[in-house]
Structure 1
Amino acid sequence: MRHTFHLLGPPEVRRGTAVVEVGHARRLSVLAVLLVDVNQVVGVDKLLARVWGDTPPRQVKAALYSYMSRLRSALDIPIVRRSGGYVLEADPQDVDLHRFRALVSHGRHDEALALVRGEPFEGLHGEWFASLRETLAGEIAAAELDHVDTLLAAGEHESLLPGLTTRASERPLDERLAGQLMRALIGADRRSDALAHYTSLRHRLADELGLDPGPALRDLAASLHRPQWNPSRFPPSPEAFTGMERELAALDQDAPIVTITGLAGAGKTRLALHWAHEHAADYPDGRLFADLGDRDPADVVREFITALGTTPDGIPPEPHAQTALYRTLLADRRMLVVLDNAADTAQVVPLLPGTARCRVIVTSRERLPGLVTAHGARPVVLG
């Protein structure tokens, strides 16, 4: 029966759903060291140092050999002596620590965070475990922030406010967290509260660290003072447009994202632009247009940020921060965004406003199933 190993909380081993009795904390520590480096040889000296520190007791190697024997017996899993050390052979996906890191690397932060049951390696002592615990606390906090960015992009401003407010009070100098709280407040139409939080953070940074907020946070605050720009970056309406009544009716249906797909020459761009010009009055805060082709979406994000009134020195250098700023600028606007000639879903996702108040029309020769399944896009197929 399959074993699963849990380190992101009180360490335990399960065989199926049953908890396996491993033994006292020292034996659990030996197991934990092997699981951290699963399928890799851990040298005896390294293992002893991690479990017992710099001053191991006499006869410590005899104790280690005894622990290994008891672990093999209790768990019935391969712990092999090899090349001056030991290796525990198991599927890394059965170890919550390694599964957590794999999920984070694939952007599946909600699933990764669901694996965390408490303080990692709870009850295990020593400098090595303390250092690893600190490292993992940072990884978990980063995954939480990344997950919040995803939820903010999806327009979950109101639901995030209680948790963000609590975390911001616990970590008052964390600028990324402060930016997230400000974006949630802006998206919830609480711009004055967002500005008040920035002012409080700015004073605290100056008093306690002698620092100013970073450029991304400064520009986010500056956007609260700027007049709302209403850009209109559209090609002219196509001349002599006729037909496509069924497709125009489909575009009239309420959906934050619509894909218009079909072969070259099917009239995708003409349809999108005709509808956009006919419905310009429905989007009083402006319209954005980009012919994507083979362009890097990060370049388009920067163009859109500039069109929305941000000066070049106010654009943060990191692509994820640029996308966050773009979505913040659109958070309380009603705008139409047309993304023409998209190559694939990945090219489009960074350009999604993340709010249902905006409308996005995407044209492509591809069907873009990722936009339909993951982002709820309504497909309109020509031809």
Structure 2
Amino acid sequence: MKFSLLGAPEVRSGADLVDVGHARQLSVLAVLLVDVNQVVGVDKLLARVWGDAPPRQAKAALYSYVSRLRAALAGVPIVRRSGGYVLEADPASIDLHRFRSLVALGRPDEALSLVRGEPFSGLHGAWFDSLREALAGEITAAELDHTDARLASGENSTLIADLTARTSLRPLDERLAGQLMRALIGAGQRTDALAYYSRLRNRLADELGLDPGPALRDLHASLRPQWNPRQLPAAPSDFTGRTAELAALDLDGPIVTITGPPGSGKTRLALHWAHAHVSGYPDGQLFVDLADSDPADVVREFITALGTDNIPPEPHAQTALYRTLLADRQMLIVLDNAANTAQVVPLLPGTPRCRVVVTSRERLPGLVTAHGARPIVL
């Protein structure tokens, strides 16, 4: 026999539908099938079928229903044991347990094929309502897993209509929203994906007071064009000399300091060398005059210059985001007129792919000893 609970409950013997009685008797069977091969106490059966206050005659009715079910389910034993009943059957013969098994095996498409409608349709009571709600969540999760698999196999355009309909029913489901965005991106509709993200962000803010989660923010960031800032001021037009210093700047090393007294030409040297080597830093150049600047403000300005406007509020998170944005880029960063090492450290990238040139009136020994900066003294 095969037992179906993911829809209107029914029992089949081969192709034939088995008459298992009225709704209350069917409810008793459903309870036993949910806990197949486990003892369900009489009191628990009464509470699940009749509610928390079963009528006085409920226990007698239960005995009668079990007797009739035994007759209807010839060959499927319902055994009295330890103050309750146990229905003994292969869990694979019950669609609910087969559904959960297939989901656990990573086969959501097969699991979803078992769902015929609302689980336990036609059966009433608080316990069945709660079970239906839980199963609705399981079915939704299986649908999302199945959609992920289809997206991974390249079914983008064919999913857009279905995902659009599903997001209209669950507009705040961020995983579903991400799937629609991925489908739109895969179908070449990047502008539509950006517009959808903007609407979702506004709705989350209005209804929940929240921003989209990290997964959606990362997906959104991947849609934005990578900005390659070109922030260097103009190169000095009358620069001459400094042959040795320019050769020192050409040497390898992620950080170099140019130090010397006021008027010694530190900035002119840095800008002349930087303009001569922009081709070596195809992802752009950042520049800041650090005079009287708060490095936290500069970090936020650099993040914006790198094309990101979702800036976290915590300073340490801002520095982490700045370094993340630089991680795969080859950029030149000129930090002019630094007052001390503490002003520079938050602006250092975490990757040697970037080159940092720092100018200062001070020798900045902390950068040399702690960060391996190579000094050039004018």
Partner of 1:195: 194
Task: Give the Cα separation in 1 of the matches to 2:136 and 2:170.
Answer: 14
Partner of 1:361: none
Task: Give the Cα separation in 1 of the matches to 2:204 and 2:46.
Answer: 43
Q: Quick one: which amino acid aligns to residue 180 of structure 2? A: L
The 1:72–1:112 alpha-carbon spacing in structure 2 relative to 1, beyond 3 Å, is: same
Matches within 5 A, 1:220-239: 220-227=219-226
Partner of 2:175: 176
Partner of 1:66: 64
Partner of 1:338: none
Partner of 1:300: none
Partner of 1:47: 45
Q: Quick one: which amino acid aligns to residue 50 of structure 1? A: R
Partner of 1:30: 28
Which aligned runs of 4 or more in structure 1 are off by greater than 6 angstroms? none
Q: Shift of residue 117 of structure 1?
A: 0.2
Partner of 2:374: none
Task: Give the Cα separation in 1 of the matches to 2:307 and 2:86.
Answer: 55
Partner of 2:101: 102
CA displacement 1:326-351 (0-9 Å, x = unmatched): xxxxxxxxxxxxxxxxxxxxxxxxxx
Task: Give the Cα separation in 2 of the matches to 1:197 and 1:72.
Answer: 56
Contact in 1 for aligned 2:92/2:98 (Cα 8 Å): yes
SS of the counterpart of 1:87? strand
Partner of 2:7: 9
Task: Give the Cα separation in 1 of the matches to 2:227 and 2:110.
Answer: 38
SS of the counterpart of 1:34? helix
Partner of 1:244: none
Contact in 1 for aligned 2:226/2:307 (Cα 8 Å): no
Partner of 1:283: none
Q: Quick one: which amino acid aligns to residue 61 of structure 2? A: A
Q: Shift of residue 54 of structure 1?
A: 1.0
Partner of 2:87: 88
Partner of 1:125: 124
The 1:135–1:228 alpha-carbon spacing in structure 2 relative to 1, beyond 3 Å, is: farther
Residue 205, structure 1, aligned to residue 204, structure 2: yes
SS of the counterpart of 1:136? helix
Q: Quick one: which amino acid aligns to residue 192 of structure 1? A: T
SS of the counterpart of 1:169? helix
Task: Give the Cα separation in 1 of the matches to 2:213 and 2:89.
Answer: 44
Give the root-mean-square deviation of aligned CA atoms: 1.9
Tell me the percent identity.
Answer: 75
Unaligned stretches of 5+ residues in structure 2: 229-305, 312-378
Matches within 5 A, 1:1-383: 3-76=1-74, 77-227=76-226
Q: Quick one: which amino acid aligns to residue 210 of structure 2? A: L
Task: Give the Cα separation in 2 of the matches to 1:166 and 1:310.
Answer: 32
Task: Give the Cα separation in 1 of the matches to 2:143 and 2:69.
Answer: 34
Task: Give the Cα separation in 2 of the matches to 1:310 and 1:64.
Answer: 68
TM-score by length of 1: 0.59
Q: Shift of residue 226 of structure 1?
A: 3.2
Partner of 2:361: none
Q: Shift of residue 49 of structure 1?
A: 0.5
SS of the counterpart of 1:8? coil
Q: Shift of residue 219 of structure 1?
A: 1.1
CA displacement 1:286-305 (0-9 Å, x = unmatched): xxxxxxxxxxxxxxxxxxxx
SS of the counterpart of 2:12? strand
Task: Give the Cα separation in 2 of the matches to 1:310 and 1:92.
Answer: 55
Task: Give the Cα separation in 1 of the matches to 2:138 and 2:214.
Answer: 24
The 1:5–1:190 alpha-carbon spacing in structure 2 relative to 1, beyond 3 Å, is: same
Q: Quick one: which amino acid aligns to residue 158 of structure 1? A: S
Q: Shift of residue 222 of structure 1?
A: 1.1
The 1:175–1:45 alpha-carbon spacing in structure 2 relative to 1, beyond 3 Å, is: same
Count matched residues: 232
Q: Quick one: which amino acid aligns to residue 200 of structure 1? A: R
Contact in 1 for aligned 2:77/2:87 (Cα 8 Å): yes
Unaligned stretches of 5+ residues in structure 1: 230-308, 315-383
Contact in 1 for aligned 2:172/2:204 (Cα 8 Å): yes
Contact in 1 for aligned 2:227/2:307 (Cα 8 Å): no
Q: Shift of residue 227 of structure 1?
A: 2.6
Q: Which has the larger radius of gyration?
A: 2
Q: Shift of residue 310 of structure 1?
A: 12
Task: Give the Cα separation in 1 of the matches to 2:168 and 2:92.
Answer: 35
Q: Shift of residue 176 of structure 1?
A: 0.4
